[in-house]
């Protein structure tokens, strides 16, 4: 009896070749000056941008590959990383168009016939990142998530799916303390939630909800340098935050 685990014994293996190409696409998000920002790469001698990513090595898990790629692009060892989707359509973008645009960087004959990509988003402290291009690119830069250019491949679509996942997971993933600095104001926290959700929130209701959950602690110091009355600084009570996330109680619907 044929062994189903041995592709040599499967009669259709020659007619329908297996798919060996597996890649990663990484959405690296930071929050700065009330903007949710994404890290993008500009390819050598072009004005073409894309997400960081790359293939998975034979000797590493997909999570290890994502950590490796993210460390190379950001310089960070510790960051919050979440797998959110697999992009596996047979036709994901116009391959011939990409080959022409990037033929001076990569030999057109070396492009994969097809690749399945695993999407990860990473939440980082913007101030701690050292943006670093890879071997095929010459610039690594933050972009406001609302004003990103037309990207190569299907990367605009990947960012859209990542944001949808982020909104769904906002109530049970530690989004806040991975994107904000250790000390922040209540308006900054509110703007982070509004940016991710894509809508405004009533300040009084937001403040009441956050205070009622007990996930933040008010400090005695205030934010200095603003034109208006300096607001108090806060920090997360991480134990209480984790408890609320377990209950999925950080919803603002």
CB 163 within 8 A of CB 196: yes
pLDDT in tens, 200-226: 999 999 989 888 888 899 999 887 765
pLDDT (average), residues 217-239: 83
Per-residue burial over 1-25, b = 16 or more CB atoms within 10 Å of its CB, e = otherwise: eeeeeeeeeeeeeeeeeeeeeebbb
Answer yes or no: same fold for 17-169 and 177-247. Answer: no
In this prediction, residue 198 has a pLDDT band, given cuts at 50, 70 and 90, of confident
CATH topology of domain 177-247: Arc Repressor Mutant, subunit A (1.10.10)
- pLDDT greater at residue 7 or residue 173: 173
Domains of the chain, residue spans: 17-169, 177-247
Residue 75 pLDDT: 96
In this prediction, residue 7 has a pLDDT band, given cuts at 50, 70 and 90, of low
CA distance 28 to 129: 10
Choices 3.90.79.10, 3.40.1160.10, 3.40.50.10490, 3.40.250.10: CATH for 17-169: 3.90.79.10
Residue 113 pLDDT: 86
pLDDT (average), residues 115-126: 94
CA distance 113 to 23: 13
Residue 165 pLDDT: 93
Strands 80-87 and 22-32: unpaired
DSSP 3-state assignment of 37? strand
Q: What is the DSSP letter of 52?
A: -
Q: What is the pTM of this model?
A: 0.86
In this prediction, residue 3 has a pLDDT band, given cuts at 50, 70 and 90, of low
In this prediction, residue 11 has a pLDDT band, given cuts at 50, 70 and 90, of low
pLDDT in tens, 171-191: 778 888 889 888 999 999 999
pLDDT in tens, 76-103: 998 899 999 999 999 999 999 999 999 9
pLDDT in tens, 139-168: 999 999 999 999 999 999 999 999 999 988
Alpha-carbon 229 to chain mean position: 34
Cα–Cα distance list, 167 to 175, 238, 245 (Å): 10, 20, 14
Residue 223 pLDDT: 79
CA distance 23 to 52: 11
Share of the chain above pLDDT 70, in %: 90
Residue 10 pLDDT: 55
DSSP 3-state assignment of 204? helix
Residue 169 pLDDT: 85
pLDDT (average), residues 17-43: 92
- pLDDT greater at residue 5 or residue 63: 63
CA distance 143 to 36: 8
């Amino acid at each position: 009896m044929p062994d189903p685990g041995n592709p040599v014994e499967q009669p259709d293996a020659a007619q329908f070749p297996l798919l060996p190409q597996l890649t990663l696409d990484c959405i690296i998000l930071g929050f700065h000056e009330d903007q949710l920002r994404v890290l993008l790469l500009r390819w050598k001698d072009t004005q073409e941008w894309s997400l960081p990513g790359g293939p998975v090595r034979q000797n590493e898990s997909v999570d290890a590959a994502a950590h490796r790629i993210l460390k190379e692009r950001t310089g960070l060892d510790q960051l919050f990383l979440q797998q959110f989707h697999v992009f596996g359509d047979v036709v994901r973008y116009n391959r011939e168009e990409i080959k022409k645009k990037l033929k001076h960087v990569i030999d057109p004959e070396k492009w994969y016939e097809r690749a399945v990509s695993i999407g990860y988003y990473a939440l980082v402290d913007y101030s701690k990142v050292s943006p670093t291009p890879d071997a095929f690119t010459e610039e690594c830069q933050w972009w406001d998530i609302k004003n990103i250019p037309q990207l190569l491949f299907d990367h605009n679509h990947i960012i859209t799916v990542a944001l949808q996942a982020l909104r769904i997971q906002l109530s049970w993933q530690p989004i806040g303390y991975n994107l904000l600095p250790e000390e922040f104001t209540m308006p900054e926290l509110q703007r982070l939630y509004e940016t991710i959700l894509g809508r405004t929130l009533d300040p009084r209701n937001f403040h009441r909800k956050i205070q009622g959950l007990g996930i933040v602690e008010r400090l005695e110091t205030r934010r200095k340098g603003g034109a208006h009355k300096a607001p108090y600084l806060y920090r997360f009570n991480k134990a209480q935050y984790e408890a609320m996330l377990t209950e999925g109680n950080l919803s603002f619907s």
